[in-house]
Amino acid sequence: MRNEGKTHHIERGRDILNNLLEKAGLKKLDKDMGILKSFDDRVYSVEERYEILEQIGNLSINPSSIIKKLSKKAHLPHRAGNKPAAIYKEEPKVESSEILIGSQK
**What is the chain's pLDDT, residue by residue, as a tens digit (105 residues)?**
567 789 999 999 999 999 999 888 888 999 999 999 988 889 999 999 999 999 999 999 999 999 988 877 655 554 444 444 444 455 555 555 566 566 554
Quote the DSSP letter at residue 87.
Answer: T
pTM listed for this prediction: 0.66
pLDDT score, position 8: 95
Parent domain of 70: 1-105
pLDDT score, position 98: 61
Counting the structural domains of the chain, the total is: 1
User: Is-contact 37 86, C-beta < 8 A?
Assistant: no
pLDDT score, position 18: 94
Quote the DSSP letter at residue 81.
Answer: S
